[in-house]
Amino acid sequence: MNQTASVQNFGTTPTAREQLKAQLEQYLAQQPESTLAAHQWMKRLEAAGAGIVVAVFVVALYVSIMWKSVNPLMIPVAWFAFAASVAPALIFYGLDAIILRAFPTTVVPGKSPRFVTGSVAVWIGLGFIVLALLTAGFWGVFAYAVGTFNMAMLKPLISVLANVMGIGMTIAILYSMFQKITKSR
**pLDDT score of 118:** 85
CA angle, corner 76, sides to 73 and 78, nearest 5? 100
pLDDT higher than threshold 50 for residue 173? yes
Instruction: Please write the tens of the pLDDT for every residue from 115-137.
Output: 888 888 899 999 999 999 999 99
**CB burial string 9-28: b at 16+ within 10 A, e below:** eeeeeeeeeeebbebbeeee
**CA–CA distance, 185 with 181 (Å, rounded to integer):** 7
Residue from 109, 81, 104 nearest 93 by CA: 104
pLDDT higher than threshold 90 for residue 110? no
| Mean pLDDT, the chain, integer | 84
DSSP conformation class of 74:
H
Please name every residue paired with 103 in a beta bridge, in sequence order, or none if there are none. Answer: 116
**pLDDT score of 14:** 54
**pLDDT score of 16:** 73
C-beta contacts of 172-175 below 8 A and 24+ residues apart = none
Instruction: Please write the tens of the pLDDT for every residue from 45-96.
Output: 999 999 999 999 999 999 999 988 888 888 888 998 999 999 999 999 999 9
Specify the DSSP element, H or E, that contains 103: strand 102-103
Domain extents for the chain? 16-149, 151-185
Instruction: Please write the tens of the pLDDT for every residue from 95-107.
Output: 998 988 888 877 7
**pLDDT score of 87:** 93
**pLDDT score of 52:** 95
